[in-house]
A and B are shown apart, each in its own frame.
Chain A
Amino acid sequence: MAGLRRIRWDALSLKLVFGLLAGIALVFLVLPTAVVLLTSFTSSQSLRFPPPGLSFRWYLALLDADQMQRAAWNSLVVAFWTTLLSGACGTAAALAIARSRSPLMRAADLLFMSPLLLPALSFGFAALIFINRLGLSPNIPLLVLGHVIVCVPFVLRTTLASLSQLDASLLEASESLGAGRLTTFRRVTLPLIGPGIGAGAFLAFMASFDNVPVSLILADERTEMLPIHLWQQIETNLDVRTAAASGAIVIATLILMLLAERFAGLTRQMH
């Protein structure tokens, strides 16, 4: 009897400890998002939490925030072009890497993934020096290229993962039935790796829209990006419109995440 109790206690204590740690961690994971959302609906002038009352007044105030709107538009435009370029070049590169075993391709893979680990600020600074040496000054197309460097690893990773799960016999079947390479790609490969590309493109879009280190250094004076603008607001005058803008970003992110989950199986692509 004593032995049985010991085994039960043993199993129970493991579940208890792991459950407790996971529980605490999950609360801390969700807490900031919940706090931002609630604070953005505050009726008061200050950022006190919990808010004394709820209202839409700060969201309405966003309608007049010209500077913030311009910054949001700039960020959307840059994120759009970054996603398009990363999606196209990243998918093409993933196809080449997945089909080859040459060491050169392994090296290319390593190179393309390295921006994920290296300090983005150092890369942004390097790009600025480079642009300067070429006699150019920062502009939007160069900023987009900078964003592509730090965002393309996301597309590459998810696309390579879905390519590795692609059943080669499907491609052989298609080609033996007389379909050309292009048709096989369009009708077989692309639909099967589509969710992988989609999830990667979504992650690249979010990473670009959210990028600070590269934008901070490569955006020119006239083109302010949203995260940089919000950062300056937070550092200087913490007004509640910042909370409303943050709330709007959180809501948009949640909607996009649910869409990405619905159409690309985002959570399945992530591990």
Chain B
Amino acid sequence: MEADSRLVLPLAAIFTAFFVAPLVVLLLLSLHGDIAMQGWTLHNYVKFFTDPFSYSILIDTLLLGVKATLVCLLFGYPIAWLCARAGARWQSVLVFLVILPILTSVVVRTFSWIVILGRQGLLNQVVMGLGLSNEPLRLLYTEVGVVMVLAQVQMPLMVLPILTVLSKLDPNLADASRVLGAGEWRTFFRVTLPLSLPGIIAGCILTYAASITAFVTQTLIGGARLIYMPLNIYQQAVGANNWPFAAALSIIFMITVMIVVGVLGAIGRRSEIHGRA
């Protein structure tokens, strides 16, 4: 091993001892019936896939991620677009505003959303003040509320990768499209959007993974009745003290996340090759 490569060793040691080894133990425990780990069994996995309650939680979680990611994309792309067009100074200000939520403590942020989304919260005051609704909207402890908050919390993860791609884009390409007679919308959908696909996919991977694993937001905004995978794992591990089943849930959840990330990543690589051609 050359001298430079050895610099990786300290972190590699920490990861082997404290990341890889625990995950291996987690996998082993999920294949046993109890914590003593005697006798192999697939019981925990069979239990998950035969119990509609269990696997519907996984499906709900995956769908929640899709909804939050789409909302993030719808609102995040225009922010990135605006940032890319702004001068250096305004760009700094905008990026600062975008990363502000992700750096503010997640508990604090969620707490603030409880004040905003509550029955007598800010949003309901505005909605009722404008006469849009006669009674307060139920937002807290509903999926609409969870999607809203997740979209806000994860917005930077969508905006930043798109901004990276948009600011490297050659403005001549859009100009050429306009000179050739395409309108702004056509130029956007036929030139700018396809070229920014790698950024969009990178953003979607990050937002999706962050949304489905967002334990604090899901639990505090969703309340006890909306159960997603992270809370399910926590309840099985700490509440029900069923460690082997919680281990199986964790493994299933992690593999699902890896599959989604892998598929999106493969699409991303293809779009990059396509973009270059």
| Residues of chain A whose beta carbon lies under 8 Å from any beta carbon of chain B | 6-7, 10-11, 13-14, 17-19, 21-22, 24-26, 28-33, 35-36, 39, 47-50, 85, 88-90, 92-93, 95-97, 99-100, 102, 105, 108, 111-112, 115-123, 125-127, 129-130, 132-133, 145-146, 148-149, 152, 203, 206, 209-210, 212-213, 216-217, 227, 230-231, 234-235, 238, 242-243, 246, 249-250, 253-254, 257, 261, 266-268, 270-271
Contact = CB atoms under 8 A, between A and B. Distances in A.
Interface of B: 4-8, 10-12, 14-15, 18-23, 25-26, 29, 35, 74-79, 81-82, 91-92, 94-101, 103-116, 120-122, 125, 148, 152, 155-156, 160-161, 163-164, 167, 183-185, 188, 205-206, 209, 212-213, 215-216, 220, 229-230, 233-234, 237-238, 243, 246-247, 250, 253-254, 257-258, 261
A106 to B, nearest CB: 12
Nearest to B250: A122
Contacts of A116: 206, 209
A69 to B, nearest CB: 16
A129 B247 contact: yes
Given A26-B97, A129-B26, A95 B7 contact: yes
B247 A246 contact: no
Contacts of A21: 74-75, 77-78
Contacts of B96: 257, 261, 266-267
Nearest to A235: B220
B75 A22 contact: yes
B18 A121 contact: no
B215 A121 contact: yes
Contacts of A230: 105, 107-108, 111
Contacts of A18: 78, 81-82
Given A31-B116, A93-B8, A129-B29, A25 B76 contact: yes
A55 to B, nearest CB: 18
Contacts of A213: 215-216, 230
Main secondary structure of the interface of A (DSSP, over half): helix
Contact of A227 (B81, B107, B120): B107
Contacts of A271: 95, 160-161, 163-164, 167
Contacts of B254: 118-119, 122
B111 A149 contact: no
Given A14-B185, A22-B79, A267-B96, A96 B230 contact: no
Given A25-B79, A119-B213, A250-B104, A92 B14 contact: no
Given A30-B100, A32-B152, A129-B29, A10 B107 contact: no
Contacts of B8: 92-93, 96-97, 105, 108
A125 B247 contact: yes
B177 to A, nearest CB: 13
Contact of A231 (B35, B107, B212): B107
A23 B103 CA distance: 21
The 3 closest A-B pairs by CB, nearest first: A25-B75, A122-B250, A130-B22
A100 B5 contact: yes
> Max chain B CB contacts within 10 Å: which of A19, A35, A96, A230?
A96
A270 B99 contact: yes
A19 B10 contact: no
Contact of B98 (A19, A29, A88, A217): A29
B215 A267 contact: no
B19 A149 contact: yes
A270 B95 contact: yes
B111 A127 contact: no
Contacts of A216: 234
